[in-house]
Chains A and B, each alone.
Chain A
C-alpha cells in the first residue's frame, strides 16, 4: 500500500449490537408489521418473550436472516410456510457444514 495515501476509513462493527424493531425496519427497509409477522411465524429467533413490541430486540444474525427472507419473498414470491421450510433447511445445511469443517 502506498504510504502517501490517506488511511482507509475504519469501520468498527459491533458484534454484540442489538436493535429495536423501528431501527431494524429502517436498516432493512422492511415494514415493522412484516417483521413482526415473520417473527410470529417462527422465521426469526423470538428471543426472550416480550410483552410489548417496544421490548423486542434483534441482533446482527437476525438482520441477515431477515434480509434473506425478504429477498426470497420478493424475488420468488414465496409463501410464509415455504420461507420457513427453506430457512430451516438452509440453517441445517449450514450447521452440518460447520460440523464437517470443525472435524477436519
Chain B
C-alpha cells in the first residue's frame, strides 16, 4: 500500500503563492458549489466536498501549509514507499518500514480508514495519532513492560474524524476501520465497525469508543479508541463549541437605517432585523439556533456577524448622491469638520 501525493493547490485551483485570503475565497466558492446539500451532481459530491475541505484544512493553517510545501518540494526525490528524509511526526516509526503506518515503536502500529480524510492526510497531517498514549511514547522504557508476563492493558489510540456541520447537527453513523500491525510479529489485524456520532459532536471533542484501541497483552484489556471531532469547514458557517457564526454582508445604508434580512441557518432560514446604526463586526445573537449540546435538547446560539460592504462601482447617479451626502452630513468621525 502506498500513499498518493495530494496536490491541494490544484484541488482549490489556486497558485502556490496564493495568499490566505485567496485560499479562503477559493475554498468558499468551491465548497458552496460542491456542498452535498446544494450540489447539482449528487454522485461524488460528498467525496469532492471532503477533498476540498482537506485541502483547506492544510492550506489555511500556516503551520500545516509550510509542512506541506516542504513535503511537496521533496516528494519527487523520495523513493516510492518512503517519506522524504526527516519528515514529520512519525519519522521514527517510518524509518525502514512502509510509511503508511503510524504509531509507536514498541508494539502495535495502526492505520485509520473511514475518517473522512485521505490516506495522504492521515499520514502527514492527522494531529491526533502522534501524541499521547501510544504515539508519544516512542523510545521510552516502560517498567511494567520489563516485568515480563504481567497482563498489560493495550494503549489508547487517537485519530481525527471529519464531521460536517450537518452531521454534527443531526448525528450520523460512520464506518471506521482500524488496521493494526504488531511490529514484533508483523501480523496485521483489521477492526471494522460503525460508530454512531451523536448530535452535538463539537469541534475538538473526543468520542471514546471503548475497547477498540490496541489489544492488551498477556490477558490485559484492550485500550480505547478516541475519535477527535474535526468540523468540516462550511462555506457559510463557522463554529466555536456549540455556537455557530455566520457572516452577513450588508450595505452601508442598511447598516445606518436598519434592515430586515433573511438569514440562512443550519436548520432553515430566519428573518431578522438588524437595528439602525449597526456597526461593522457587530454580532447579533439568535438564542438556541446553534448546534445541539447533548441529549438534553439544549442548543448553542447562532451569531450573525455583520460585515458592512462598500459599493465599488458607482453609477453617475449614485456618485451624485454620495457627494450630496458628504455636503449635507453632520457626521465627522475624526471630530472636526473636514477641510
Given contacts A8-B192, A15-B198, contact A102 B206 (CB under 8 A): no
Q: For residue A52, which residues in chain B have a CB less than 8 angstroms away from its CB?
A: none
B24 adjacent to chain A (CB < 8 Å): yes
Asked if residues A104 and B60 are in contact (CB atoms below 8 Å), the reply is: yes
B221 adjacent to chain A (CB < 8 Å): yes
Which residues of A49-104 are within 8 A (CB) of B? 60-61, 63-64, 67-68, 71-72, 74-76, 94, 98, 100-104
Interface size, B (range)? 35 or more
Asked if residues B208 and A13 are in contact (CB atoms below 8 Å), the reply is: yes
Q: For residue B198, which residues in chain A have a CB less than 8 angstroms away from its CB?
A: 12-15
Contact of A15 among B60, B132, B207 (CB under 8 A): B207
| Chain B residue, CB-CB nearest to A13 | B207
Q: For residue B245, which residues in chain A have a CB less than 8 angstroms away from its CB?
A: 102
Asked if residues B196 and A74 are in contact (CB atoms below 8 Å), the reply is: no
Roughly how many angstroms separate A101 CA and B141 CA in the complex, as a whole number? 35
* Interface residue count on the A side (C-beta < 8 Å): 31
B269 adjacent to chain A (CB < 8 Å): no
A-B contact count (CB 8 A): 96
Asked if residues A15 and B205 are in contact (CB atoms below 8 Å), the reply is: yes
A3 adjacent to chain B (CB < 8 Å): no
B137 adjacent to chain A (CB < 8 Å): yes
B193 adjacent to chain A (CB < 8 Å): yes
Asked if residues A1 and B203 are in contact (CB atoms below 8 Å), the reply is: no
Which residues of B211-248 are within 8 A (CB) of A? 212, 220-221, 224, 226, 233, 238-240, 245
18 contacts between A and B (CB under 8 A): A8-B193, A10-B196, A11-B209, A11-B210, A11-B212, A13-B198, A13-B210, A15-B200, A15-B295, A16-B294, A27-B210, A29-B153, A64-B206, A64-B208, A67-B156, A98-B240, A101-B61, A104-B233
